[in-house]
Amino acid sequence: MSILQREPVFTLEVDAANTRYFIYINGVSVHKEFSNNGQLTTVLPVNHWMHPAENSVSVEIIPPSSGAPINPSARVKLGLRVHPSGEMHNAQTIATLHFDAAYIDENPTAKSSPSGRFSSTHNFEADDSGDITVSDVVMTPMKNYGGALRFKREMIVPSSLPLWAFFESDDLPDYDAMSDEDYDTAMEDLFVMYEKVQSALARGDIERILPMFNERNEETDKAYYLEPGTTAAGIKEDLMDSIANRELELAPLSTNDVAITRNLTRKVVSLTRRFDTSAIGYNVKGGGSESYNLIFRKENETWILTR
């Protein structure tokens, strides 16, 4: 049986240094790095963003300032991998997207894995009749920031994961292209949902808002093969612990504190503070913070908390 049908767990391996960059799975932001000099090696679980067939991995490489050249030592390597649930030692690489600024004038993604068709039943080896299709990396200059480049790799990866609700939700507007008046109206519309959560935390009464998390909780359980109710119990405990912790102070929230985030997809949206930090969170007395990232979709003009 294909590894993709055995309760697959998809992960994105990230190895990056010396550049600002934003990473997306199927157009949804999964990591943003705002430092031009940092270095990161990590693994991100991405089942909850994967489509059961048509998928993409994208990265935006951003220079230190608009119009400036990309740092010549910049590099970002992304590897989409999969293993059966509970068998991390059996992880296999589906495809990589490897940007290296040293080759910016030639082919900066030359080190990426080859395109073509591959077989998930034969260790993802090249196979003209394989079930996996990996497309070439496509480079696109970004219009909203001089010198920034977007690299995208599409692939067909048929798996046993369900189709998550956000894939079929309403298309959202292009917030970046809105007039100031329309943007403010859109902000107010979405802010109402965050205000409900903020008010419940301020009152210490979360029972009324727990149903808001139903889709998020149920799909997370399915995505990672958890017993139904596991994620719901966890978020309830986390919220109650934060309310009871006297070392935490709920951060004030107003429309002046947040902005509508940009995703490559128009299916989900969230409000964030500076440097993409969550709109709702607590300040730790003495320094530090804890936060709750809320991501919404819209269906029949109704906001639904999906992640």
Domain interval for residue 284: 175-305
| Within-domain flag for 168 | no
| Within-domain flag for 169 | no
Q: Do 156 and 197 belong together in one domain?
A: no
Q: Do 149 and 197 belong together in one domain?
A: no
pLDDT score recorded for residue 287? 84
- What percentage of the chain has pLDDT greater than the value 90? 94
Contacts of 150 (CB under 8 A, 6+ apart): 58, 59, 60, 61, 139, 140, 141, 142
Q: Do 219 and 149 belong together in one domain?
A: no
Bridge partners (DSSP) of residue 25 are 28, 57
Q: Do 224 and 147 belong together in one domain?
A: no
Q: Do 222 and 86 belong together in one domain?
A: no
Q: Do 120 and 192 belong together in one domain?
A: no
Of the pLDDT bands very low, low, confident and very high (cuts 50, 70, 90), residue 1 is confident
Domain count, the chain: 2
Burial class of 89 by CB neighbour count within 10 A (0 to 12, 13 to 18, 19+): exposed
Q: Do 298 and 189 belong together in one domain?
A: yes
Domain boundary at 137, 161, 185, which? 161
| Within-domain flag for 167 | no
Q: What's the CATH number where 246 sits?
A: 3.10.450
Segment 174-218, tens digit of pLDDT: 999 999 999 999 999 999 999 999 999 999 999 999 999 999 999
Segment 56-100, tens digit of pLDDT: 999 999 999 999 999 999 999 999 999 999 999 999 999 999 999
Residue type at position 199: S
- The size of the chain, in residues, is 307
Average pLDDT over residues 145-152: 97
How far apart, in whole angstroms, are the C-alpha atoms of residue 233 and residue 262? 30
| Within-domain flag for 42 | yes
pLDDT at 9 over 90: yes
| Within-domain flag for 170 | no
